[in-house]
């Protein structure tokens, strides 16, 4: 053989792969999953349509990786926030707030990742990622239950319901309008977090305190 991949080439290939993924992400953030089409993505990434297929075997695979990437980031943020909290209830509040803030910071992208149309192959991948996030929330609820802060309950169902409430209230089509205004945004996050905590059984008064605690550190993320 008279050709072998040089380190430089390997790096360029990796960069190109990232560029394609980033282009897909941008497209999704702008126009939802429907806007993630091979030709436009290729243009954004400065490659030809055919090149995309040298990096991803199919569009479904590309979208799956995109979803996995975004979900990974979100899960890590949730864990970080929750682990930094002083107790199980605070951790739950922090987790919920983190989801709310994340989802708000990229509404269109979140919508695409969470709910928009996709074919079956993608659904499988998406489902796995959502399960992980839901599982994380469920674990936090469970911890609070075991600590005696919450009544016993079906934590998996509760976690799913909480995520549904957050998503619908914040990024769904019925979500409030002016969420670009930081003050409104904070209000929305607080309101929804309060609802979520009460839903799993935190007393109203206590919930209000937890919300305030949780929203403070989360503010830093809003810019991100």
Partner DNA sequence: ATCAGCCCTGAATAGTTGTTCACTTCTTCA
Partner DNA sequence: TGAAGAAGTGAACAACTATTCAGGGCTGAT
Judged by beta carbon, residue 45 or residue 122, the one nearer its own copies is 122
- Residues of this chain that interact with its own copies (CB under 8 A) are 34, 115-117, 123, 126-127, 130-131, 134, 151, 153-154, 156-158, 160-169, 172-176, 187-188, 191-192, 195-196, 198-201, 204
Which span (12-20, 21-29, 150-158, 189-197) binds DNA, by CB under 7 A? 12-20
Which does residue 153 touch among its own copies, DNA, none (CB within 5 to 8 A, set by kind)? its own copies
Q: Name the residue nearer to its own copies (CB basis): 15 or 34.
A: 34
Binding-site partner at residue 117 among its own copies, DNA, none, CB < 5 to 8 Å by type: its own copies
Distance in Å, CB of 195 to its own copies, minimum = 4
Cα separation, 97 vs 185, whole angstroms: 12
Instruction: Pick the binder of DNA from 39, 84, 128, 216 (CB under 7 A).
Output: 39
Spatial separation of the C-alpha atoms in residues 68 and 148, rounded to whole Å: 34
- Give 39's contacts (C-beta < 8 A, 6+ positions apart): 49
| Single residue of 14, 30, 49, 83 touching DNA by CB under 7 A | 49
Tell me if 120 contacts DNA by CB under 7 A: no
Q: Name the binder of 65 from its own copies, DNA, none, CB < 5-8 A by kind.
A: none
Closest CB 18 distance from its own copies, rounded Å: 28
Whether the CA torsion 172, 77, 20, 124 is positive or negative: it is: negative
Q: Is residue 158 a contact partner of residue 103, using CB atoms and an 8 Å limit?
A: no
DSSP H helical ranges for 48-203: 49-55, 59-83, 88-105, 107-114, 120-146, 155-170, 182-199
Q: What is the dihedral of CA 145, 147, 148, 151, to 10 degrees?
A: 0
| Residue 78, phi then psi, degrees to nearest 5 | -60, -50
């Amino acid at each position: 053989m008279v050709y072998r991949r040089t380190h430089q080439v390997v790096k360029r290939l990796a960069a190109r792969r990232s560029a394609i993924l980033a282009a897909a992400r941008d497209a999704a953030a702008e126009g939802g999953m429907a806007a993630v089409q091979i030709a436009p993505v290729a243009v954004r990434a400065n490659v030809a349509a055919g090149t995309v297929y040298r990096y991803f075997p199919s569009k479904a695979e590309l979208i799956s990786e995109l979803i996995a990437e975004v979900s990974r980031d979100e899960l890590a943020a949730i864990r970080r926030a929750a682990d930094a909290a002083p107790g199980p209830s605070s951790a739950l509040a922090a987790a919920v707030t983190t989801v709310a803030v994340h989802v708000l910071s990229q509404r269109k992208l979140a919508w695409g990742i969470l709910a928009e149309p996709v074919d079956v192959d993608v659904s499988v991948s998406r489902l796995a990622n959502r399960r992980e996030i839901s599982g994380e929330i469920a674990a936090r609820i469970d911890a609070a239950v075991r600590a005696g802060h919450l009544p016993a309950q079906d934590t998996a169902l509760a976690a799913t319901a909480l995520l549904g409430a957050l998503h619908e209230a914040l990024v769904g089509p019925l979500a409030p309008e002016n969420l670009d205004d930081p003050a409104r945004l904070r209000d929305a996050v607080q309101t929804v977090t309060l609802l979520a905590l009460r839903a799993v059984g935190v007393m109203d008064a206590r919930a209000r305190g937890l919300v305030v605690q949780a929203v403070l550190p989360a503010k830093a993320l809003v810019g991100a």
